[in-house]
């Protein structure tokens, strides 16, 4: 049975420290591989769209991403399970969009942040194989959110208008219908 880990909450210093890059040797280590399994299991148990290692108190440059008909984000397109080790993101072009984000480390609060529409991704997968890909739309936003964590940032740092902050209940009540519409347009433009 894979262990479910505790998720650090905003205010914990581990969320503010840039994480440590992994060598291929450290990545291949049995203990690191087990940790990646635990990170995935913890993301799934919490219905997260992604989870970064420092969110479970390990300052390593690893994050996991997956969206499969997520009940926390019913309007979001699916993303297959992805493990990113030492990821580097490079924006493609200058187009951005406004994304309403939440975070497992920020209880019951969501807010609007600007995200790049397209990004190039360089990383390793969990086996040390190079990943080179371009992601777009909501998927690109999720990648940016998770890699921010690995650099010691939270989405709160990027909220320009604090009036956009809402509880999850009020998001559902007052904002979700409109956001779902915006996401639908984004998905039809970018396919993800």
Looking at the annotation, which residues are catalytic?
A: 146
Least distance from C-beta 20 to Zn ion, angstroms? 19
Residue 103 or 117 having the CB closest to Zn ion: 103
Residue 95 or 157 having the CB closest to Zn ion: 157
Q: Is 36 exposed, middle or buried (0-12, 13-18, 19+ CB in 10 A)?
A: middle
18 Cβ neighbours under 8 A, 6+ residues apart: 150, 151, 152
CB 91, CB 134: distance < 8 Å? no
Residue 44 or 128 having the CB closest to Zn ion: 44
Least distance from C-beta 7 to Zn ion, angstroms? 9
CB closest to Zn ion, residue no: 103
> How many residues are present in the chain?
192
CB 137, CB 187: distance < 8 Å? yes
Least distance from C-beta 24 to Zn ion, angstroms? 27
Residue 67 or 103 having the CB closest to Zn ion: 103
Where along the sequence are the contacts to Zn ion (CB under 5 A)?
A: 103
Dist. CA 181–CA 153, nearest whole Å: 28
Which region, left, alpha or beta, applies to residue 38 given φ > 0 means left and ψ of -120 to 50 means alpha? alpha
Least distance from C-beta 189 to Zn ion, angstroms? 25
Dist. CA 5–CA 80, nearest whole Å: 22
């Amino acid at each position: 049975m894979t262990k479910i880990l505790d998720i650090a909450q905003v205010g914990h210093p581990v969320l503010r420290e840039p994480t440590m890059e992994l060598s291929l040797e450290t990545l291949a280590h049995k203990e690191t591989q087990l940790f990646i399994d635990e990170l995935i299991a913890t993301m799934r148990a919490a219905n997260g769209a992604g989870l970064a290692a420092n969110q479970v108190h390990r300052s390593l440059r690893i994050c996991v991403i997956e969206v499969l008909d997520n009940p926390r984000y019913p309007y979001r397109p699916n993303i297959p399970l992805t493990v990113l080790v030492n990821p580097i993101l490079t924006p493609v072009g200058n187009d951005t969009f406004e994304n309403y984000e939440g975070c497992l480390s920020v209880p019951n609060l969501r807010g609007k942040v600007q995200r790049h529409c397209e990004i190039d991704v360089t990383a390793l997968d969990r086996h040390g194989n190079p990943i080179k890909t371009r992601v777009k739309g909501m998927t690109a936003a999720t990648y940016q959110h998770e890699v921010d964590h690995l650099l010691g940032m939270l989405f709160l740092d990027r909220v320009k208008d604090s009036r956009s902050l809402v509880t999850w209940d009020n998001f559902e009540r007052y904002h979700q219908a409109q956001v779902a519409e915006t996401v639908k347009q984004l998905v039809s433009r970018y396919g993800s």
